[in-house]
Structures are given as structure tokens and as C-alpha cells.
Structure 1
Amino acid sequence: MFRQQPPAWSEPFISRPLEHPLQLTRPFDQITREWAWENATGKGIKVAVIDSGIDATHEAVGGPVSSYASVQEGSDGIYYDTLPHTDAHGHATACSGIIRRVAPECELYSVKVLGNDLKGRGLIFASGLRWAIEQGVQVCNLSLGTTKKEFYALLHELVDMAYFKNIILVTAANNFPIPSFPSMYSSVISVASHPGKDPFLYYYNPKPPVEFGAPGINVRVAWRDHKWITATGNSFAAPHIAGLVARILSKHPELTPFQIKFVLYALAANVSKERTPHNPYEE
């Protein structure tokens, strides 16, 4: 019998201690909100808001934006304008205000891929996501998506790239019953709306692809020109979960994407023993 080389990808499983030992999460019934995020603020966690650009001067944003990139397309192809910008619409400022409400000390990255009509090209969107991944952010809030199937493979490649780099992508489900990408991919955290007002109240959906429900119906959000509006949409549910993820990671930076999903599942109001399920429509 001749000796064969081990199959590809076998190296991490050879019989010696790992160079980077894995950190264990708690048993399911010991995962509590106190352990997961109490006293955490999101400090040290980079959160990219890939959207219409953040207005850093709005009171809801509550602090500076750490980095900017406005994705542009010129005669020579895609390029990134990294000068400070403002919000072309109001949408990104709304999402950023929610994130900072939940994780006030997180570092925001403004990735501008949408215009003042809240529309953008799929290639611009994908390029913005690629830029955020290359910056080494830990969380991306994607309150946008595309229904165009020609971008399915490209976005899937980027989502997988993020997953294997331990970057959490929190995506808003489409507001209409039409599949949109990347919210339909299994490796993202897909979010839809419930009508509650408590920013820390969310539910698990046992029938994915949409996995969690967070406040997103008639919520008061920041808007352009330092204004506030009452708005409805899955766009505003996703940043509630993105903020929670930032809080969890600031306390437990070793957690991987699938561990983060497990913690979120364990602490959902309709799963956790800490919260008594109730009807948010009665709030």
C-alpha cells in the first residue's frame, strides 16, 4: 500500500492543537441577554451602511462617520470617492440612527450606492459591498436588494466571501412578496418587520428564508435635512438587528456568523425564557 497525500482542506483537522483555538458559546439554556449584550455599546465594531449615504450631522447618528465611499461609474469603470458625503435621500440616515440607538459607540462606515430617488444599479451595489468587505468591517447593514436574477451569482460570491471572513451581513427582506437578493441567501441574517416599538424586541421566524422580525412598522426615524419622519418598511427592521449584532460582537468578538445566528435565535422573544411572548399589535 502506498502512502497518499491527505485530501485538500484536511489541514485544520490533523491531530495537533489548533493555532487559533475555537471559543465556545454557552449551552442554549445559559445564553442570556445579560451575557450576550448587557453593558455593551458596540465599541470597536465597524458597521457599514450600504445605502444612500449617511448624514453625519443628524442628531440621531450621534457621532462621526469613520469612513466614506461613494461608488461611482466612469469611463474607466467603477471607482470610489472616499471624500465625506451626505445623504442623497434620507434612507441611510434613518438606518444609521437606528443602529446608533442600539449600539451607540459602533463605528459607522457610509457606503453610498443609491441616489436621491433611492435607486441604483446592481453593479454599483455589488461594488459597494465588495468595498466594505475589503475594509474589514464586522457588520454590514443592507436595507436594499435587487430582484434581478443576473446579479444572483455575483452577490452570492460576495456574500460567501463575507461569511468566510466572519463579516455579518444583515439584510432587509423585500417589502413585496418577491424574492430579492441577497436577503434570500442562507448565510445572511434576513429581517422583516413587526409593529412593536421596543428596539430590543425581536422574533425568530421558524419558516425561513426570512429569519427574524424586528420593529419596522410606523417607527420614528431620522431623515434628511435634520428631520424626523414616521416610516414603515423592512429597511428599518434590519438595522435593529445590525445594532444588536454590533453590541454582541463588542462583548464577544470571537463569535462567528453561525454562532451569532444561534445567539440571536436563543434570545428571540418567542424562543427565550427571559421574555414572555406577546402580541406586538397590542402595544
Structure 2
Amino acid sequence: MNAKIHVAIIDDGVNADFLNSHLLYDVEIAHGGAEDGRSLNHGTLCAAIVQTYFPDAMISSVKIMNDRKGNAVQLCAALDWCVKHGVQVANMSLGSIKYRDREMLREAVNDAARAGLIMVCAAQNGGFLLIRLLLLM
């Protein structure tokens, strides 16, 4: 059986014109920004990578960032949206080092994990690596 997997790209949006397929959902939790529809932004690159390795995946875009900035409230809302819309894998090439967001993020991550959402997250680019799962904090 070749069931399709629903993958959400939680990032700065996905420009479907660059992909070989359409988006299942195109959601904006963070509105606005400087997207002109012609730029190859970070979320689109992430979607293209998913599409390259999993060409049968159904991809949804959940935009939570503008100008490379977002917040924990938007991320929590995105995870909740994923659970409510049957997303199986959430791709998040983003993160936070704000300690005050810890409890809110832990609760959202734990709720999403209990609902069966698989969350794939990137490591931080600045050389500082904190290996600590929110589930265990």
C-alpha cells in the first residue's frame, strides 16, 4: 500500500509555483511580509527538499514567520492546526532560545506528540547546540 503522507512546512510560507505539485493547504498564521511570489524563500526550499525525497507527500504550508521572525504563540497555533487537520509530519526549520517560552512550547509539543504528530526540527546554526527534548524538560 502506498498511502500519501501529509507534511506541513511550518516556516515563512511556501511558494507553490516552485514545486511540482499544489499545496493541500496554504495557511497564514503570520500575515503579510515581503513575499512577491517570485522569490525562493526558506519555506519553499524546505518543501522542495521534502518533495525531492518524498514525491508522493501531500504538502501544506503553515506560515508563522515574516522577515525571519516569529514567536512561540504562532508556533503553538501552527502545531494545533496540524493536529486538527490530520497532518502526520510537521517540518520546522526554526527554533527558539527564549527560556520564558519553554512551558508554552513544551505543552504544545507534548499535546501534538500525544496526538500522533511527528515533528522534525532543525538544529541551530550558530554553533550552540542544546540537545534537550521539550518532552523531557
Q: Does 1:51 align with 2:11?
A: yes
Aligned residues: 132
Match of 1:121 in 2: 71
CA contact (8 A) 2:79 2:112 kept: no
Moved more, 118-127 or 171-180: 171-180
* Pairwise CA distance, 1:150: 1.3
Q: In angstroms, what is the RMSD of aligned CA positions?
A: 2.6
Q: TM-score, normalised by structure 1?
A: 0.42
Partner residue of 2:105 out of 145, 149, 155 = 155
Match of 2:132 in 1: 184
Larger relative contact order (CA 8 Å, sep ≥ 6): 2
User: For residue 53 of structure 1, what is the amino acid of its counterpart?
Assistant: G
Q: Following the alignment from structure 2 to structure 1, what is the Cα–Cα distance between the partners of residues 71 and 129?
A: 17
Q: Which is higher, the Rg of structure 1 or of structure 2?
A: 1
Q: Which secondary structure does the structure 2 equivalent of 1:64 belong to? A: coil
**Which runs of 5 or more structure 1 residues have no equivalent in the other structure?**
1-38, 74-84, 188-283
Q: Does 1:108 align with 2:108?
A: no
* Pairwise CA distance, 1:94: 0.4
Q: Following the alignment from structure 2 to structure 1, what is the Cα–Cα distance between the partners of residues 56 and 40?
A: 24
User: For residue 24 of structure 2, what is the amino acid of its counterpart?
Assistant: S
CA contact (8 A) 2:5 2:58 kept: yes
Match of 2:21 in 1: 63
* Pairwise CA distance, 1:179: 5.4
Moved over 6 A (4+): none
* Pairwise CA distance, 1:186: 5.9
User: For residue 68 of structure 1, what is the amino acid of its counterpart?
Assistant: D
Residue deviations 1:168-220 (CA, integer Å, cap 9, x gap): 1000011124357xx73165xxxxxxxxxxxxxxxxxxxxxxxxxxxxxxxxx
Q: 1:72 to 1:53 in 2, by over 3 A?
A: closer
Q: Which secondary structure does the structure 1 equivalent of 2:28 belong to? A: strand
Q: Following the alignment from structure 1 to structure 2, what is the Cα–Cα distance between the partners of residues 66 and 170?
A: 19
User: For residue 123 of structure 2, what is the amino acid of its counterpart?
Assistant: A
Q: 1:65 to 1:87 in 2, by over 3 A?
A: farther
* Pairwise CA distance, 1:87: 8.3
CA contact (8 A) 1:65 1:107 kept: yes
Structure that is richer in helix per residue: 2
Residue deviations 1:254-277 (CA, integer Å, cap 9, x gap): xxxxxxxxxxxxxxxxxxxxxxxx
Q: Which secondary structure does the structure 1 equivalent of 2:17 belong to? A: coil
**Which runs of 5 or more structure 2 residues have no equivalent in the other structure?**
none
Q: Following the alignment from structure 2 to structure 1, what is the Cα–Cα distance between the partners of residues 133 and 61?
A: 23
Q: TM-score, normalised by structure 2?
A: 0.83
